[in-house]
Amino acid sequence: MGFQSLDVWRVPEVRGRLDWYFRVAVNEMPAKYLVCRRVEAPPDFREMGEDELWRLHEKLSESFHKLLEQVKKGSLELAELPAFRDSFLSVKVELVKRMVRHCNFCRWNCRVDRSNPTKLGTCQLDTTSRVSTYFHHRGEELPIRAPREAEQYSSHHATCAASSASTHTQ
Ligand code: SF4
C-alpha cells in the first residue's frame, strides 16, 4: 500500500491539518529548506554580530514567506530559481553556531559555551554528535526519510527538550 492510499488520509481533519506535510511527502511541494536556499544572503553575513544576524534573519524571513506563498499558489516553480551558496539557510546555520557558544537551545537556558568543553550545561553536551545506535528505520517522516539506514544520537539529557534523542536518516 502506498503512502497516498493510507486510510488516515481519508480523514478530512487529518488531511487538512497535515496538508503541507502530505504535499511535500508526495512531491507535490518542495520541502521548506529548499525554499530557504532560494533566498540569497549578503556575502558578508558571517562577519556580522549576532544581533545584526538576527535582524538579517528577520528580513530574509519576509522574503522566504513571500516566496513560499507563491510556491503554494503554484505561481512559481522553485526549480526555475537558482539555489544560492549563501542563503537564508546558511544564515540559520550561522546563527546556530553562534547560539551554541551561549547555549539557549532549550528552557534550561544554560548560557554555556558548548564549543568550549571546559564547562557544559544540564544536557552535558558539547558540539560532538555521538552515535549510540545504527539500524534500518522505515518509520521516519517521509520528507526526511531515505531508503537506507538511521542512527540515533546519545549523550542527551532526559530533561533537555532540545537535546533529547534524535534520529537521523541517511
Ligand atoms: S540543557 Fe543543553 S541544550 Fe539546553 S540550554 Fe543547556 S546546554 Fe543548551
Q: Is residue 149 part of a domain?
A: yes
pLDDT of residue 163: 44
Q: Is residue 142 part of a domain?
A: yes
Q: Is residue 137 part of a domain?
A: yes
Output the ligand 1 site: residues, CB below 6 A.
103-106, 108-110, 112, 114, 121-123, 125, 160, 162-163
Distance from Cα 168 to the centre of ligand 1, integer Å: 20
Report the atom number in ligand 1 closest to the C-alpha of 108. Answer: 5
Q: Is residue 164 part of a domain?
A: yes
Q: Which long-range contacts (CB under 8 A, 24 or more apart) does 154-157 make?
A: 154/130, 155/123, 155/124, 155/125, 155/128, 155/130, 156/123, 156/125, 157/122, 157/123, 157/124, 157/125
Domains in the chain, number: 1
pLDDT of residue 135: 72
Q: Is residue 168 part of a domain?
A: yes
Q: Is residue 97 part of a domain?
A: no
Q: Is residue 39 part of a domain?
A: no
For the entire predicted model, the pTM comes to 0.78
Q: Is residue 63 part of a domain?
A: no
- 83-121 pLDDT, tens digit per residue, is 999 999 999 999 999 999 999 988 999 999 999 878 889
Q: Say if CB 64 and CB 72 are below 8 A apart.
A: no
> Which of 106, 129, 153 for a ligand 1 pocket mutation test, highest count of atoms within 8 Å of Cβ?
106
**Residue nearest (by alpha carbon) to ligand 1 atom 8:** 103
Give the domain range for residue 118. 114-170
